[in-house]
A = this chain, B = another copy of it.
Amino acid sequence: MDTLLRTVGEPRRCEIIRLVWSDELAAAEIASHFPDVTRSAISQHLGVLRRSGLLNERRDGTRRLYTVNQGELAKLKAFIDSFWTTSLEKLRDLAESSEQMKGHE
* Chain A residues within 8 Å of B, Cβ to Cβ: 2, 5-6, 8-11, 14, 17-18, 21-22, 70, 73, 76-77, 80-81, 83-84, 86-87, 90
Contact = CB atoms under 8 A, between A and B. Distances in A.
Given A77-B80, A80-B73, A80-B76, A90 B22 contact: yes
A80 to B, nearest CB: 5
Oligomer copy total? 2
Given A21-B83, A86-B21, A87-B21, A5 B8 contact: yes
Contacts of A70: 83-84
25 contacts: A2-B11, A5-B8, A5-B10, A5-B11, A5-B14, A6-B9, A6-B10, A6-B11, A8-B9, A9-B9, A17-B83, A18-B83, A21-B86, A21-B87, A22-B86, A22-B87, A22-B90, A70-B83, A70-B84, A73-B80, A73-B83, A76-B80, A77-B80, A77-B81, A80-B80
